[in-house]
């Protein structure tokens, strides 16, 4: 297994700078795989726009010793993916991200490069699209993609920003309720609830939870959720 993945739940924690909590994690991942240039995929950044998104990420990556090139500026996007040292997919709206990746013919190509061993990192929506589909996103379907299928770099679904917080004044579904609905109609797929300030690392065939001490929650159809911490063996998910 050659895949090198860093799948981050969130970019920002309350009261902390953008990508502040995971900056060293990104730097370590890049250094380990001799990455100095990163191809950034900004398509989830609907509200801020691609140019502003590129600038925001570039400002942080520069402090980490990394140079980024945004895919939306490439004269030949397909060739840019083929030549990339590393791909980083930013968070935002997952539906728009998936729409653009299929429309521009980049979904399968990024998957192929990552399967070959090109380092891949993503946060929030960028982690969600590493899964078999976008179906466990938290986002509003603001646009209809060609299909819901994603990169299938891992065989389970990620629910980024997972929380089991319940506001007694809120009458809607909890996050667990929504995941259970997914499992009701997708009974053979596991769902990882990835809490804030955590990430999944897949390197050298080993899947690990890294970051702060916030256990992930594993959901399986018709079973009680299970919690796994930083020292847990997660290779059974592969």
Tell me which residues are annotated as active site.
124, 139, 161
Contact between 38 and 88 under an 8 Å Cβ cutoff? The reply is yes
Contact between 191 and 219 under an 8 Å Cβ cutoff? The reply is yes
3-state secondary structure 183-201: HHHCCCCCEEEEECCEEEE
Q: Say if strands 226-228 and 191-195 run parallel, antiparallel, or are unpaired.
A: unpaired
CA–chain centroid gap for 133, Å, is 12
**Strands ordered across the beta sheet of 37-41:** 67-70, 37-41, 87-89, 120-123, 5-8, 198-203, 206-211
């Amino acid at each position: 297994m050659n895949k090198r993945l860093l799948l981050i739940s969130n970019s920002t924690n309350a009261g902390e700078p953008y990508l502040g909590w995971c900056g060293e994690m990104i730097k370590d991942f890049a250094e380990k795989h001799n990455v100095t240039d990163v191809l950034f995929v900004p398509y989830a950044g609907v509200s801020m726009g691609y140019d502003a998104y590129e600038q925001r990420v570039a400002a942080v990556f520069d402090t980490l010793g990394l140079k980024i090139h945004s895919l939306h500026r490439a004269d030949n996007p397909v060739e840019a993916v083929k030549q990339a040292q590393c791909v980083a997919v930013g968070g935002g709206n997952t539906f728009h991200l998936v729409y653009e990746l299929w429309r521009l013919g980049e979904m399968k190509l990024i998957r192929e490069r990552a399967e070959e061993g090109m380092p891949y990192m993503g946060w929030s929506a960028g982690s969600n699209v590493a899964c078999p589909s976008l179906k466990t996103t938290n986002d509003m379907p603001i646009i209809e993609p060609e299909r819901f299928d994603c990169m299938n770099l891992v065989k389970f679904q990620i629910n980024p920003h997972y929380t089991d917080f319940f506001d007694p004044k809120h009458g809607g579904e909890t996050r667990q309720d929504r995941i259970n609905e997914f499992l009701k109609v997708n009974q053979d797929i596991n769902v990882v609830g990835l809490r804030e300030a955590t990430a999944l690392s897949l390197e050298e065939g080993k899947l690990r939870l890294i970051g702060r001490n916030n256990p992930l929650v594993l959901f399986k159809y018709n079973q009680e959720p299970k919690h796994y911490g930083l020292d847990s063996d997660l290779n059974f998910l592969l």
